Amino acid sequence: MIRAPETGRPRSPAALFGRHRERLPAEPEDYRGPTYYGQPALKPSPWTWEVATYMFLAGLGGSAQILATAADLLGGPGARSVVRHGRYLAVASSVLGAPLLISDLKTPGRWYNMLRIFRPTSPMSIGSYILTTFGGASALAAAGQVLADRAGGRDHSMLARVAQIPAALAGAGMSTYTAALLSATSTPLWAAEPRLLAARFACSAMATGAAALSLAEQSDGGPANSRTLDQVALAATAAELAISVASDRRQRERGVGRPLRQGGWGAAHMLGAIGLGAGLPLACYGLNLVRRRRSRALSVAASLAVLAGGMIMRHAVLHAGQRSAELPGEYFRLTRSAGR
């Protein structure tokens, strides 16, 4: 039997190693020096959607706990529902998040070894303890909240009031340590601008926490609370947008971050994280500010958009980062000494 010659087979050695990767077009600041047959000079982290989803939940829950605590200490009587929603959201995020992390481990049966030592140089070690503290304290705060709810809602639960302080402090950690986790690696996209990445994650955490609470208030609570929470989300989203723009510019100058600007994840980031996560909510919040009567629909739409955008942003940063580790040019741009 005569067969036609094969066509379209991979030519480059890089393409041979299993994965069929999209080609990203070159940019002016790109690396033009030597590489080893275009082979990756780093290995990407072996993490999957579970870690990205956990990062989203951690930020959301951590900030929700902070907002709940602030509402408990400073808010008026109308803000009790915010307190209640926040405490339940916080514990839910840790109850959902921890199994996701355990499932991502390649030997999940040994998950408890994360608490075997404390290593201050490792954000994963620091984070394991932050998660444990946050989970435990949030559980106590939520338990206290349940007791208060059972008792008729007017009693402020002492248990919850005490537990919420360490929970909120740990919640601040939950909102930010995941960025330190990404930056304390050699992956170019994550290591290039650690401060901006951390600020961005913090803003996203606060925005998603406030948006989730605002949604909860719209359905079961007070629309007045929703207004306040929308203001918080507006501030956080605006700050996040500014930081994203600054970060993008810095990365372009340094010749890194192409996978977040181009290709599939670049599109997801632009449309999902920037457009859906910042542009649409800011427009909705802005409209609601100038209207005489607040629109419930705009508030709900903005909250959903912030949540979707936050989720997409975490996934885009994770996957684009893994892709950047496989581009030798990105890494060598960062590691060549000045003048080469």
Contacts to other proteins from residues 233-262, by CB under 8 A: 235-236, 239
Decide whether 191 or 276 has the Cβ nearer to other proteins: 191
* Residue 34 is a binding residue for other proteins (CB under 8 A): yes
CA atoms of 297 and 223, how far apart (whole Å): 12
* Residue 210 is a binding residue for other proteins (CB under 8 A): yes
* Residue 107 is a binding residue for other proteins (CB under 8 A): yes
Cβ 245 to other proteins shortest distance, Å: 16
Region of residue 18 (phi > 0: left; psi between -120 and 50: alpha; otherwise: beta)? left
**187-206: contacts with other proteins (CB under 8 A):** 187, 190-191, 194-199, 201-203, 205-206
Cβ 321 to other proteins shortest distance, Å: 8
Which H or E run contains 146?
A: helix 123-150
* Residue 106 is a binding residue for other proteins (CB under 8 A): yes
**262-301: contacts with other proteins (CB under 8 A):** none
CA atoms of 165 and 216, how far apart (whole Å): 22
Cβ 150 to other proteins shortest distance, Å: 25
Decide whether 235 or 300 has the Cβ nearer to other proteins: 235
Cβ 78 to other proteins shortest distance, Å: 5
* Residue 23 is a binding residue for other proteins (CB under 8 A): no
Q: How many residues does the chain have?
A: 340
**119-178: contacts with other proteins (CB under 8 A):** 119-126, 128, 172-173, 175-177
Decide whether 181 or 312 has the Cβ nearer to other proteins: 181
* Residue 111 is a binding residue for other proteins (CB under 8 A): yes
Decide whether 232 or 306 has the Cβ nearer to other proteins: 232
Residue among 22, 26, 103, 116 that touches other proteins (CB under 8 A): 116
* Residue 317 is a binding residue for other proteins (CB under 8 A): no
* Residue 42 is a binding residue for other proteins (CB under 8 A): yes
Choose the binding region for other proteins from 250-258, 262-270, 275-283, 323-331 (rule: CB under 8 A).
323-331
CA atoms of 264 and 267, how far apart (whole Å): 5
Q: What contacts 299, CB < 8 A, 6 or more positions away?
A: 214, 218, 223, 226, 227, 230, 284, 288
The secondary structure of residue 122, as a DSSP letter, is: -
Q: Which amino acid appears at position 113 of this protein?
A: N
* Residue 47 is a binding residue for other proteins (CB under 8 A): yes
Give 160-167 contacts, CB < 8 A, sequence gap 24+: 160/72, 160/87, 161/72, 163/137, 163/138, 164/65, 164/68, 164/69, 164/72, 164/87, 164/137, 165/69, 166/133, 166/137, 167/65, 167/69, 167/90, 167/133, 167/134, 167/137, 167/138, 167/140, 167/141
Residue among 78, 99, 136, 286 that touches other proteins (CB under 8 A): 78
* Residue 313 is a binding residue for other proteins (CB under 8 A): no
* Number of residues counted as binding other proteins (CB under 8 A): 101
Would you say 193 and 243 are in contact if contact means Cβ atoms under 8 Å apart? no
In angstroms, the Cα distances linking 241 to 2, 170, 311 are: 60, 25, 15
Residue among 30, 70, 136, 270 that touches other proteins (CB under 8 A): 70
Would you say 153 and 80 are in contact if contact means Cβ atoms under 8 Å apart? yes
